[in-house]
Amino acid sequence: MKQEKSMNNIWKSIAERWSMHQHPGIPSEETVSIFRKLIEDEMSKHNIKNPKVLLHGSTPELRDMLFELGAEVVIIDKFMQMILGMSELMTHKNDKEIIIKADWINPPLEDNYFDFVIGDLTIGNVLKKNLRNYLESIKRVLKRDGYWITRIACHTEEFQDNDFQKIFDEFCKIPVKHQNMSELLSLFTIFFYNSETDMVSISDLGNWMKQYEISPGIYNHPDSNAKKVLQKMWDTWKPMDKQWQFYSIKKTREFISGFFDIEDQISPNTAYYHILDELFPIFKCKVKK
C-alpha cells in the first residue's frame, strides 16, 4: 500500500508537469500520426467501423486520437492519480471511455475481445520478471487477428561518446529553441544504464547534478545557460525517483517475437539527436498463431 501511494504521487507529479515534457518523453504529432495510420489501415482492411481498443496507461494524445477514430476505448492503469491528471489534458472529453483501475498483467478483461491494444512507452514500466506475463496478457485479450501497437524506448551501447558531462556541455550550447529536456533525459539513459538489471534510475542523474547543487533543488554553474538547463532539469523531473526497464532493439524484438509477429517497426523523424528516433520505435505486432 505504501509503495502504491508513492507511485501514485510520482505519476501525479508527472501528470502535473506533462506540458513541460516533449518528444521522445511524450508522443509527438508525428508519433500520434503513425499510431493513427497503423490503426486506420487495419480498420479499412477489415471494415472495422468502431474498433475496440485497450489503452495501457492514459496518454492524452492517444486518447484524443482514439476519440477521433470513433473507437470504443477501455483504459487500464493501476494509478488513478495519473488517469485523472491525464484526463484534464485531453482536447476531447470522452464520456464513453471505460476506465479500469487494475494491473496490466492481470486485467479483469474478456479473452479475444479487442481489435487493438496500444500503449506509449509502457514496457519500461514493467519489471523484467513480469515481462512474459505482460505480453501474455496482451495476447490473451486481443482477437486472433488483433494488433498490439506500441512505442518502446530502447537502449544502445553504440553511442559515439561515453562522457555525459561532454554531452551536457554540448547540449547547453544548442539554441534554446532546440533544447529538449526529454532528449537530454533520453541521452542520460544511455550513459547511466545498468546492464545487470536492464534498468535506468533517474536518481543517478540527480546524483550527477549534485556537483552543481547549492541547496536542495537549486543549482549554479559558471555558464548562465548551463545554470538554466540544470534548473529546468530539476523542475521537469523532480523528485527524481523514477526508474525504467530498458532493452536493446535486438533484445526487444526477440521477446516480442515470442508472442507476436512484428509486421512493422517505424521510427519517427522528430528528434534533434537523430539517434533517439532510432531508439524510440513504434512496433506493429500481430498475434502469433
Q: Dig out the grid coordinates for 91 from the structure.
A: 482536447
Q: What's the rounded Cα separation, in Å, for the pair 164 and 176?
A: 19
In a shared domain, residues 27 and 150 = yes
Domain shared by 17 and 46, yes or no: yes
Q: Pull the grid cell for residue 40.
A: 486506420
Residue 168 CA to residue 171 CA, distance in Å, equals: 5
Predicted TM-score (pTM) of the model is: 0.92
Q: Are residues 142 and 256 in the same domain?
A: yes
Residue 112 has pLDDT above 70, yes or no: yes
Please tell me the predicted confidence (pLDDT) of residue 239.
85
Same domain, 171 and 279: no
Do 238 and 115 fall within a single domain? no
What would the pLDDT profile of 120-151 be if each residue is shown by its tens digit? 999 999 999 999 999 999 999 999 999 999 99
**Residue 244 contacts residue 5 (beta carbons within 8 Å):** no
Q: Which residues form the domain of 228?
A: 164-245
Confidence of residue 82 (pLDDT cuts 50, 70, 90): confident
| Domain match, 180 and 202 both | yes
pLDDT at 13 over 70: no
Are 179 and 255 found together in one domain? no
